[in-house]
Structure 1
Amino acid sequence: MISKAKNYFKRNRNIVVQFVKRETASRYKGSYLGFLWSVLTPLLMLIVYTFVFGEIFQAKWHAESTNKLEYAVIIFAGLTTYNLFSEVVGRSPFLILSNTNYVKKVVFPLEVFPVIAVGSALVNAAINFVLIAIFTVIVNHTLHWTVILLPIVILPLLFFTLGVSWLLSALGVFLRDIGQVIAIVIQALMLLSPILYSVDTIPLKFRWFYYLNPITYFVGDIRNVMIWGKVPILSIFVLELLVSIIICVVGLFFFRKTKHGFADVM
């Protein structure tokens, strides 16, 4: 099935590329600075994080840390990782509903809409990752070689997000309230993931939940390779990848099984 899916999306990659370009361009259409906002927005947010957490709260990720920018960069890396997931998942219940004109076109591959959503979110995340790399050099006075592993460690996140998106985009057609439920879940999950704080600060009796939360591993892997120069533990990473691929395949299978009923309820 994976081989068939690979060939299917290879045939439709031009559609995906064109839609991603269109979505990226439409975000800033009509604005004076245009695509430059993709750089300015995360840069301004990083400045805000540095001021709030570094100056006001005097927050430190490690007790021995003396750099006020470090905490902001660590948080920014976590939020960038989580936002890639949450942006796609938040849109997923409405992906098919907002493209009803394509549903009745028998030849149009509806499966590409979640792929387009992931691609669009990945463009923004890529810009943020470049900024993280730049500010990591400022904080650590070096850029660890492990940063080259970023395209690899991000794969489980992409597979997981894509699988969840296929599942939710199909369910959103039949269960219209799921969009509101997902919006609440996304907000709660951000606070229940080690993004604004370290897993080490969580009481032992609650840590089991964080170790079951896949976001914990995605955020940890990206922080490790980009900021701390650590290589992810191979056994854990392979398990992440396998589970993410399984979720991706299950999501695609569910989408394909239910898509024939989309036109009947829209």
Structure 2
Amino acid sequence: MKKNNTETGTPRELLTSLWRNMPLIRRMTKREVIGRYKGSIIGIAWSFFNPLLTLLVYTFVFSKIFQSRWPASTGNSTGDFAIMVFTGMIMHSFFSECLNKSPETLLNNKNYITKVVFPLEILPIINLGVAIFHLLISLIVAAVALAWLDHTPSLTLLFFPLVIIPLMLGTAGITWITTSLGVYIRDIGQIVVFLSSILLFLSPIFYPTSALPQKYQIWMSYNPLTYFIETSRGILINDAPPDLIQLIYVYAIAFLIFFAGYYWFQKTRKGFADVL
């Protein structure tokens, strides 16, 4: 029986596995995206209309019912508050989609575990690919909304991919861990759903961090989503480039989580078949 040569969990083996299996990752990601909307009347178009309808609801509720204004905002448009909230929701939705699905990933693909030559480590990456697809669609909706608000894009948009990449790396590392734990501890599925719901309100989505008292701002900085939400708003809406020193620090942490998550997954995968 052939042994999978990517079980020691080194960074080199991870990169080799991702490169070698990239065609398989693309095919399975595409199949997952199409399969999610299979059978619906308008099909994959829902991936566009869902965030669009969400943005319209936010705009109506916050601007017409609550008549909310974003703290320190100089804009007068009724959609200013909604686009601020929607931008934060994009970041949270990306992370929560990957996190919530991860504990069930191996449980729903038991047949792959018996095939020792199948690269199990790519299954969380496929979930990540699906989330990236929805992230891109939501960003298109946000771009349309910003154009409607007469926001002229600037060169700071070039920094946006540099901010999203560490979010993807860190999310992949975390989901490798929760995917593995989901096999051994079935309660993990309920725990991560609860945590992602809590993060919705404990992240600066409906408010900026600066609106909090100073003592709470310090705690907010420990939220992994805070940096990505605030920095994304700065780039997309306020034309503010990220702090490069802070960005380097974020990359270092993201790579650490990325490789640590993979190492954990590879070291715990030996018991998957016995448990399932």
Residue type at the aligned position of 2:101:
R
Residue type at the aligned position of 1:55:
K
**Which structure 2 segments of 5+ residues have no match?**
1-9
The C-alpha deviation readout for 1:47-73, integer Å capped at 9, x for no partner, is 100000011111111353311111111
Once the two structures are superposed, the pairs formed by residues 1-266 of structure 1 within 5 Å of their partners are: 1-61=10-70, 62-266=72-276
Residue type at the aligned position of 1:217:
Y
The C-alpha deviation readout for 1:172-197, integer Å capped at 9, x for no partner, is 11111111111111111111000111
Q: For 2:115, what is the secondary structure of its paired residue? A: coil
CA distance in 1, matches of 2:236, 2:187: 38
Q: Is the 8 A contact 2:91 2:229 kept in 1?
A: yes
Instruction: Calculate the TM-score normalised by the size of structure 1.
Output: 0.97
The C-alpha deviation readout for 1:130-155, integer Å capped at 9, x for no partner, is 11122112224311222222221101
Q: For 1:212, what is the secondary structure of its paired residue? A: coil
Q: State percent identity of aligned pairs.
A: 37
Q: For 1:180, what is the secondary structure of its paired residue? A: helix
Q: Is the 8 A contact 1:133 1:143 kept in 2?
A: no
* Superposition deviation, residue 3 in structure 1: 3.1
Q: Tell me which moved more, 221-230 or 138-147.
A: 138-147
* Superposition deviation, residue 238 in structure 1: 0.8
The C-alpha deviation readout for 1:95-125, integer Å capped at 9, x for no partner, is 1111101001011000001100000011011
Instruction: Calculate the TM-score normalised by the size of structure 2.
Output: 0.94
CA distance in 1, matches of 2:193, 2:157: 32
Q: Is the 8 A contact 1:167 1:252 kept in 2?
A: yes
Task: Give the length in aligned residue pairs.
Answer: 266
Residue type at the aligned position of 1:32:
I
* Superposition deviation, residue 223 in structure 1: 1.3
Residue type at the aligned position of 1:113:
L
Residue type at the aligned position of 2:76:
T
Structure-2 change in CA distance of 1:195 and 1:158 (3 Å)? same
CA distance in 2, matches of 1:63, 1:119: 34
Tell me which protein shows more helix as a share of its residues: 1
CA distance in 2, matches of 1:254, 1:141: 44
Q: Is the 8 A contact 1:156 1:218 kept in 2?
A: no
Q: Is the 8 A contact 2:103 2:179 kept in 1?
A: yes
CA distance in 2, matches of 1:252, 1:9: 11
Residue type at the aligned position of 1:106:
V
Q: Is the 8 A contact 1:144 1:227 kept in 2?
A: no
**Which structure 1 segments of 5+ residues have no match?**
none
Residue type at the aligned position of 1:212:
Y
CA distance in 2, matches of 1:225, 1:140: 16
CA distance in 2, matches of 1:148, 1:129: 14
- C-alpha RMSD of matched pairs (Å): 1.1
Q: For 2:40, what is the secondary structure of its paired residue? A: coil
Q: Is the 8 A contact 1:59 1:71 kept in 2?
A: yes
